[in-house]
Amino acid sequence: MSVLANLESKIQHEEATNIELFFDLFFAANLTVFSEVHDVTNLAQLRSYMGYFCMLWFTWALVGLFDVRFVTDSIFGTFSKRSVLPAADTLFICIFLVFFLYFFLVLFG
């Protein structure tokens, strides 16, 4: 058995969970909406955009690092994630409806 095959057999691959994918989608959507709403035409706006991006990225990175280090597969962890998910889903649906109504009014209003 080669060294590479031995190394590959020891590496564990895990798929991303739904909450991790939702968090990544939230990051991308937040940055996209900010980019669409704010035109970067001068240095002050560029600094504002870079500051917002850094704030979003550091929040995303710190949550990811915290999850890697401290989150365990326990009853409390599962319960807390499952209790937060309905609230996050409700918030997502509300935000989607607000954006849908806004674009509907802009297109047909």
pLDDT tens digits, one per residue of 46-98? 888 888 888 888 877 877 777 777 777 777 777 776 777 677 777 777 777 78
Domain of residue 96, residue span: 3-108
Residue with tokens 């870079």: 50
Counted domains in the chain? 1
Which value, to the nearest 10 degrees, does the dihedral of the CA atoms of residues 85, 33, 58, 91 take?
A: -20
pTM greater than 0.75: no
